[in-house]
Amino acid sequence: MDSGIVFNVQRYSLHDGPGIRTTVFLKGCPARCWWCHNPESQTSSPQTAWSQSRCISCDACLLACHEGLQPREACRACGDCAEACPTGARELLGSEMTAEQVLHNILKDRMFFEDSGGGATFSGGEPLCQPAFLKTLLSACRAQGIHTAVDTAALCPTETLLDLAPLVDLFLFDLKCASDTLHHQGTGVGNGLILDNLEQLGRVHRNIWIRIPVVPGFNDTTEEMDALAGLAARAAGVRQVWLLPYHGSWAAKPARLGASPPAETLAARTPSPQTMQDFARLFTARGLDTQIGGGA
Question: What's the pLDDT score for residue 247?
Answer: 82
pTM for the model: 0.90
CA gap 25, 231 in Å, rounded:
27
pLDDT in tens, the chain (296 residues): 799 999 999 999 999 999 999 999 999 999 999 888 888 888 888 888 888 889 999 989 888 887 665 555 567 788 888 889 999 888 888 999 999 999 999 999 999 999 999 999 999 999 999 999 999 999 999 999 999 999 999 999 999 999 999 999 999 999 999 999 999 999 999 999 999 999 999 999 999 999 999 999 999 999 999 999 999 999 999 999 999 999 876 666 666 777 666 666 656 788 999 999 999 999 999 999 999 986 54
Q: How many CB atoms lie within 10 A of CB 124?
A: 26
Cβ-proximal residues to 84 (8 Å cutoff; 6+ apart), any chain: 60, 61, 63, 64, 90
Question: What's the pLDDT score for residue 13?
Answer: 92
Question: What's the pLDDT score for residue 267?
Answer: 63
The per-type count for the chain, helices as H runs and strands as E runs, is: 11, 11
Question: What's the pLDDT score for residue 192?
Answer: 97
Judged by DSSP in three states, 184 sits in: helix
Cβ-proximal residues to 50 (8 Å cutoff; 6+ apart), any chain: 89, 90, 91, 256, 258
Question: What's the pLDDT score for residue 53?
Answer: 87
User: Residue 16: which of 127, 133, 176, 145 has the closest Cα?
Assistant: 127
Question: What's the pLDDT score for residue 256?
Answer: 72
CA gap 224, 271 in Å, rounded:
15
What is the number of alpha carbons within 13 Å of residue 185 lying toward its C-beta?
Answer: 10
Question: What's the pLDDT score for residue 36?
Answer: 87
